[in-house]
Each structure stands twice: as C-alpha cells, then as structure tokens.
Chain A
Amino acid sequence: MRRSDNLQGTLELLILKSLEHQANHGFGITLHVQTVSDGLLHVEEGSLYPALHRMEKDKLIKGEWRVTESGRKARLYSLTAAGRKRLAEAESSWTSVAKGVRKLLRFA
C-alpha cells in the first residue's frame, strides 16, 4: 500500500468511486484510479482483491462474471444500493477530513 492508502477507508472510497458510473473489473479499477489521478494514486493488486471480496461480503458491491468488450472473461463489480449510500457518506466524510487537513497545513 502506498502513502495514499494509509488513511483507513481510502481504498474503499476509491473502489466505490471508480464503480460509480459503470461496472468494472479489478484491472479496470486500477487503471481508472491511475489514469484519473494522473498517476498520483496507485492501487496495489495485493490489497485490491481482498478489499473487493470484503466489500462484496458486506454487500456494498456485487460481482458477476461477464465477457468484456475484448472478448475476455472477467469478474465485473457494480455498486449496490448500500454501496451507493456508503459512497455518499464516505465522500462527504473524506471531503471534510481533506478540508480540515488543508486548513491545518495552511495554518502551520
């Protein structure tokens, strides 16, 4: 896990956010995070998959085997209702944490 994953729940937030608009597989999620953050953030596979399974067990996301556009079989994850709710909560709490941290940094 890199520096960006240190705050608990961050990985979960990243995954939820990546799946907000479309279902995706694990590899897609790593690509998405990397591309959208301009390479600043990076999700490691070793943490990603246990997290995906845990979140699936918690019924935040739902996994399904599908065939991708390139004709490959992959397990695609999509948000459940509970997942969407959790995403909203996590987003707002992240925003407030970030805001707080930014203020603190400016003060110093």
Chain B
Amino acid sequence: MKAPVKRKRPFQRRKVCVFCADSGMRINYKDVKTLNHFISERGKILPRRISGNCAKHQRDLTSAIKKARNIALMPFSLFGS
C-alpha cells in the first residue's frame, strides 16, 4: 500500500503586515479611510490570514474598528451585495 500523496498547496506569497512595512501608517480609530481596507463587504473585520497583519497590529486594528463602530463612524453590519 502506498502512503497518501501529500497534497501540494498552491504557492502563496507571504503577506507582510502593512503597518510594519510602512512605519508612517498609524492605526487610529478616527481614520476611517484606512480602517475601511480591513473590513469585509458586510462590515466584518477581516481575519489575519487574509489581511496579513501581524498579531500586534491586528489587535490594535480590531480595537480601533470597534471604537469607530461605537461612535457611528463605521458600520456594525452592511447588507451584502
């Protein structure tokens, strides 16, 4: 009997955290333009595996988005298209 062949994963470019790569970029809950890059169509926060953020920045980003939501700068939910 043959051992099952390991499934080859398609090559994926390793994503780099944009906040680490660009030190000029700051996470701020009032800066909705930047935060909008990190939410899905429905207004959900994108997971790290998709956005490629590092743990530290993902944590800061999450709290910033939640603050922005609380003061109605960002939506809690959007209707999907």
Q: Tell whether A pairs with B.
A: no
